[in-house]
Chains A and B, each alone.
Chain A
Amino acid sequence: MDEEQRNRQVAQEGVEAGLRESLKRELEGEIRQVVEAELREELSRELRDRLVARVKAELAEEIRARIARVKAELEAEILGRAVPSPPLREFERFSGNFRVQHMVLMVSCIILIITGLPLKFHEARVSQIFFDLIGGVQMSTLIHRIGAVGLISVGAYHLLYLIASREGRRNFWALLPRPKDATDLFQMLRYFLGRTDQKPRFGRFSYVEKFDYWAVYWGMLIMIGSGLLLWFLETSLRFLPKFAADIAREAHSDEGLLATLAIIIWHFYNVHLNPEHFPMNWTFWTGMIGEEEMRRHHPLEYEELMASRVARPPAVAGLAAAGQSAADPPLPSPSDDRAQRALGEKSP
């Protein structure tokens, strides 16, 4: 038993050393070729050296990470253990700007729900207690309108963000529904029912996240539209019949409940109660997502990200070898963005 294990250990070490050496040699050769091809004409020697050093350092880290992973996998294979998954790195999922938007939306919604539901469920004892505590319906109405200002502001700001900021446009593009979302949903259901062991492979946003995002559009449209009509009732009724106000009230009340239920049941499950995230997923606060989680939940995004970092030099080398200008951007802009974003990653 011991003998066997020791033999395996030795074998593993041999494999490891060989792998490390070959990878290193191969990659270094490639880098040199690429960087030289790219920089031969335009750049000074000094700059070239610095770039070479930086790319080398990055690659060294990449290689170390890969070796560590391969080592862990081999070890697990040999010792029959599960793959240990230390949080290797973190990626920025939500920018500061986006986190502030989510924060304002969250606080506004909480205020609106707390001051809105007691009006809907006015017969409940707890509503009476709420109004007694807060100082009557006049005060709750005022607070509700403060919440409304928050919601309207974040809605308007978000539209501006989608149009004016590069990050907004990129996220919006990624959030647009695609046929893949439908097939992902079906595969997920098959997976849930045990028909397959293959979970759907999501990109930056899964169909669940897309649903949440677009549901907020629907909610905002109904709630802000009917809410403004009721807020400025006398102005509205100058142009609209009284039953329009009744419809607005009914829609406001019913959509308010629907949104509340969606948040409490669906969103809370996804970010709090889900066994993977319990007690809560901190991404909304830190903006960061761990590498393991990234690989598990957004494999397509992860792979694209890794490809744009690791596979770029050979790709460029290939292009250069084919006689194309090395100064041209090697990949279209979306993945370029991702690569830039990935440079902002943090090591734990």
Chain B
Amino acid sequence: MVASRLVHWIKWLTGLFGPTRWSPSSCPSWLLAILMGPLLVLLIPGGAEALKKCTTCHRKPTLSKRLPSGRVISLFVDEELLKESVHAKHSCSDCHSDIRAIPHKGEIKRVSCIRCHFKGNVVGAPQKDINLEFAKSVHGVAAAAGNAKAPVCQDCHGTHNILSPKDPDSQMNKANIPETCGRCHLEVFSDYRESVHWAAFEHEKEDSAVCTDCHGEHTIRAHENPESSTYMTRVPETCSRCHSSVAVVGKYGIKTEQVATYGRSYHGIAIKFGGKTVANCASCHGVHDILPSSDPRSAVHIDNIPKTCGKCHTGANANYAKGKIHVDPTKREAGTVYWISLLFKWLTISVMMALVGHIGLDLFRRFRRRGAAH
């Protein structure tokens, strides 16, 4: 154990001078402590001192500023929040690096998180590959194109109140995601609050879907983008992540077979092989406002089926509701379809047995005769 660690350290140290790939993140923790320790010692008292300096003004809740656009923004910094955040040990200027003097001079820019949060940083700021996907996301693309309203890191993760997503108070904790997204996506949020997912979520069913469960986090794309998890051909896959899993929906008494029956339906098969004009889950069940079929407001309630099917099938009438929708011909509940399926199964088996038997006997006779002739 000790020997293997020793070998690892030696390898790392020699790697500094060798041709092999060397990365600072593979630095052993003891060496990191030796290298970074003095830096931290410098940072901590410095941070506390600097905070005191800044909060002289920024502790006042009324401190605000009028932007050229006319918008008034609060410049109040809640010290208590900051002290509880993951960045408690950092000084203000670690993030607000363009502030060099008091009173501040020039334009004060937005904090850039990638100053520390890049792959292989030495201060230990967490950074995963998936986070880099943000640049390709609908938010990242809009932000890069100069849309001032497009969210960047701190819009979702928070500013001075940044906490680990595992913390129940974090803006990025699953419990707070609908509100966090809803700050901008107000209309969608109000739709979502009508849905069965929200109802279940409110009843502390932490398995219920919130925004990010369907849309993704850093990978959010517009639903017209074929890479999006909510692109029309990828919706079944996205819904089935929970709805085909007994471990997720099964424990709430929700059937998982709906995913399989959809997959076997013409809709499901065609969508798998590039059909662009067939129904996915959301075409019938709705998107943000999904409700159970027992609810009269639901798109899949029996009274609403003609209207729902009629979105694609012109002239849909009450006949569309006569019969099971997610029909499984192998199950007895399928009714006539089950019996037809059974009939054909046995017809096929018996006909094939008869035909193969006839062929077999024919060959048997031929070979026997040939054998007898020799």
> What is A's interface to B at a CB cutoff of 8 Å?
118-119, 122, 127-128, 131, 136-138, 140, 189, 191-194, 233-234, 237-247, 249-251, 254-255, 257-258, 261-262, 265-266, 269, 274-275
In the complex the two chains form, is B275's CB within 8 Å of A251's CB?
Answer: no
CB nearest neighbor in B for A240: B319
Q: 20 interchain pairs (CB within 8 A)?
A: A122-B273, A136-B274, A137-B273, A137-B274, A138-B275, A140-B273, A192-B361, A237-B316, A239-B319, A242-B323, A243-B322, A243-B323, A243-B337, A246-B337, A250-B337, A250-B341, A251-B340, A255-B344, A261-B348, A261-B352
Which residues of A lie under 8 Å from residue B273 when comparing CB positions? 118, 122, 127-128, 131, 136-137, 140
Residue pair B344, A250 in contact (C-beta under 8 Å): yes
A119 neighbours in B (Cβ, 8 Å): 266, 269
- Asked if B345 and A254 sit within 8 Å, CB to CB, the answer is yes
User: Which interface residue of A138, A243, A265 has the most chain B CB atoms within 10 A?
Assistant: A243
| Distance in angstroms between the alpha carbons of A123 and B121 in the assembled complex | 46
Give the one of B336, B337, B345, B361 with max A CB within 10 A. Answer: B337
Known contacts: A243-B322, A246-B337, A250-B337. The answer to whether A258 contacts B365 by CB under 8 A is no
A192 to B368 alpha-carbon distance, docked (Å): 10
Q: State which of B313, B317, B322 has its C-beta within 8 Å of the C-beta of A233.
A: B313
What is the CA–CA distance of A1 and B224 in the complex, to the nearest angstrom?
A: 97
Known A-B contacts A119-B269, A122-B272, A137-B270; A262 and B351 likewise in contact (beta carbons under 8 Å):
yes
Interface residues of B in 312-368 (CB under 8 A from A): 313-317, 319-325, 327, 329, 334-337, 340-341, 344-345, 347-348, 351-352, 355-356, 359, 361-362, 364-366, 368
| B residues in contact with A189, CB < 8 Å | 361
Contacts of B327 in A (CB 8 A): 243, 246
In the assembled complex, how far is the CB of residue A202 from the closest CB belonging to chain B, in whole angstroms?
A: 14
> How many Å from the CB of B258 to the closest CB on chain A?
15
List B contacts of A251 (CB < 8 A). 340, 344
Do B313 and A254 touch across chains, with their CB atoms under 8 A apart?
A: no
- In the assembly, what is the distance between CA of A147 and CA of B313, in Å? 25
Complex CA–CA separation, A136 to B269 (angstroms): 11
Q: How far does the alpha carbon of A118 sit from the alpha carbon of B334 in the complex, in Å?
A: 24
Question: For A249, what are the chain B residues with a Cβ–Cβ distance below 8 Å?
Answer: 266
- List the B side residues contacting A241 at CB < 8 Å: 319, 322-323
Report the nearest B residue to A251, measured CB to CB: B340
On whether A266 and B323 interact (CB within 8 A), knowing A137-B273, A247-B340, the answer reads no
Number of A-B contacts (CB under 8 A): 110
Interchain CB contact (< 8 A) of A234 among B263, B314, B364, B368: B314
A238 touches B269 (CB 8 A): no
Q: Look across to chain A and name the residue whose beta carbon is closest to the beta carbon of B345.
A: A254
Cβ of A258 and Cβ of B340 under 8 Å apart? no
Of the listed residues A128, A137, A274, the one surrounded by the most CB atoms of chain B closer than 10 A to its CB is: A137
Asked if A237 contacts B269 (CB within 8 A), the reply is no
* Across-interface contacts of B345 in A (CB, < 8 A): 254
Q: Are B324 and A243 in contact (CB under 8 A)?
A: yes
Which residues of chain A are within 8 angstroms of B352 by Cβ–Cβ distance?
258, 261-262, 265
Contact B365 A192 (CB under 8 A): yes
Closest to B310 in A: A234
Q: Is the CB of B322 within 8 A of A242?
A: yes
Smallest Cβ-Cβ distance to B349: which chain A residue: A258
Q: Which residues of B contact A (CB under 8 A)?
A: 263-264, 266, 269-270, 272-276, 313-317, 319-325, 327, 329, 334-337, 340-341, 344-345, 347-348, 351-352, 355-356, 359, 361-362, 364-366, 368
A61 → B minimal CB distance (Å): 35
Select from chain A the residue with minimum beta-carbon distance to B320: A242
A193→B315 contact, CB < 8 A: no
Pairwise interchain contact A192-B316, C-beta atoms closer than 8 A: no
- Rounded to whole Å, the gap between the CB of B17 and the closest CB of chain A is 50
In the complex, what distance in Å separates the CA atom of A254 from the CA atom of B346? 11
Q: Are B341 and A254 within 8 A (Cβ)?
A: yes
When chains A and B are docked, how far (Å) is the Cα of A307 from the Cα of B364? 35
Of all chain A residues, the one with the shortest Cβ separation from B269 is: A122
Within the complex, what minimum Cβ distance (angstroms) separates A161 from chain B? 27
B355 near A262 with CB under 8 A, answer yes
Contacts of B365 in A (CB 8 A): 191-194
Closest to A189 in B: B361
Known: A254-B345, A257-B348. A234 touches B313 (CB 8 A): yes
Q: Which chain A positions have C-beta within 8 A of B317?
A: 237-238
Residues of A within 8 A of B263 (CB): 122
How far, in angstroms, from A21 to B82 measured CA to CA in the complex? 129
Contact status A192-B348, CB under 8 Å: no
Q: What is the CB-to-nearest-CB distance from A250 to chain B, in angstroms, rounded to a whole number?
A: 5
CB distance from A173 to the nearest CB of B (A): 25
Rounded to whole angstroms, the CA-CA distance of A119 and B270 in the bound complex is 8
Considering the complex, give the chain B residue whose CB is closest to the CB of A266.
B355
Q: Please, which residue of chain B has its CB at the minimum distance from the CB of A276?
A: B366
B315 & A238 in contact (Cβ 8 Å cutoff): yes
Q: Are A192 and B323 in contact (CB under 8 A)?
A: no
Tell me the bound Cα distance from A257 to B344 in angstroms. 10
Extra 7 A-B pairs, beta carbons < 8 Å, given A254-B348, A258-B347, A262-B355? A192-B362, A194-B365, A194-B368, A243-B327, A243-B335, A254-B341, A275-B366
Bound Cα distance A212, B317 (Å): 42
A262 to B272, CA, bound (A): 29
Residues of B within 8 A of A238 (CB): 315, 317, 319
